[in-house]
Amino acid sequence: MGATGAVGNEFLRILEQRKFPLASLKLLASARSAGKTLKFRGEDLKVEELTEKSFKGIDLVLGSAGGSIARKFNPVAVAAGAVVVCNTSAFRQDPQVPLVVPEVNPEDIAWHKGIIANPNCSTIIMNVPIWPLHKVNPIRRLVVSTYQSVSGAGAQAMAELEQQCRDWSAGKAITKSVMQHQALFNVFSHTSAVADNGYNEEEIKMVNETRKIFHCPDIRVTATCVRVPVLRAHTESINIEFTNPMTEAQVTQVLSKAPGVRIVDDRRKNYFPMPIEAADGDDVLVGRIRQDVTLDGRGIDLFVSGDQIRKGAALNAVQIAERL
């Protein structure tokens, strides 16, 4: 579901790259996208309009069509006998729906009742490197600041940033219609709705989803989510307060063996994670591993970068599907 969007296109790439076993593939999107063709394994597949009759004979649905679509069609797909891996926020906090990062809590897949939720992209990119540390030394508090690429706002937002670059280069006026603020040469707070306490929805997602995925309702998380003029891959600054003292050497040792993590940390060359190198990759890059000088040995700072469309969305969902 949502085959023609940025995540939908990435689903096709990843299913092909990972040689996902399937007998047939159906591409579903809105009526305005019906009739388009997308390539998969060298063939042109026609996009069909998503309707309540779309799921007959379907075993697995990979969904990325938005929350309202998910709320309407996920139960229909389940009633038809399918399992839905949902890439929207619609079911993430439903206690009957597992919220899964395969490197963290794959065992939760087993208790699904037809729907498995894919977490928010920023949550996934943070949780992949901090979970192996949490297992060794329980985390008491996390402070995270995100530098989120425009890919998080979808394919049209990426196209808008590219157009703003072209317009600026040609001396034309820079216009915006997809994003609330100009992305080019700008940094702005994530434009999801802001609650009475001042936190926006993206920040609240990182708090609540981490608690659910870790099965740790007491872990303290505070987040500041920001959009930056980068096409693809989100970056995050993470400050961790552990229960017990932990050295940067111990952290590096744990992360060097962690699934889905690649350490990029060369102080001599000043070479650390960058979104331009995380883009199109499956791993979360981790660097700037250093002791927090204010926490008496219990604090560590990390700087991480991961592809929002791949590990932050489509890849995580396909990994769940592979486990199924």
Q: Is 216 a catalytic residue?
A: no
CB distance 302 to 240 below 8 Å:
yes
How many Å apart are CA 257 and CA 268, to the nearest integer? Answer: 23
How many Å apart are CA 148 and CA 278, to the nearest integer? Answer: 13
Catalytic one among 86, 112, 121, 190? Answer: 121
Catalytic one among 112, 134, 190, 234? Answer: 234
- Helical pair 6-17 and 155-169, crossing angle rounded to 10 deg: 110
CB distance 274 to 303 below 8 Å:
no
Cα angle 190-152-267, degrees, rounded to a multiple of 5 = 85
Q: Is 121 a catalytic residue?
A: yes
Q: Is 210 helix (H, G, I), strand (E, B) or coil?
A: helix
- Cα 106 to the chain's mean position, in Å? 16
What residues contact 179, with CB distance under 8 A and at least 6 apart?
A: 150, 153, 157, 160, 191, 227
What residues contact 2, with CB distance under 8 A and at least 6 apart?
A: 8, 28, 29, 63, 64, 65, 66, 69, 87
One-letter amino acid for residue 288 of the chain: R
**Any idea of the CA torsion for 279, 282, 284, 287, to the nearest 10 degrees?**
-70
CA distances in angstroms from 307 to 85, 125, 152, 230, listed in the order given: 19, 8, 10, 11
Which residues belong to the active site? 121, 234
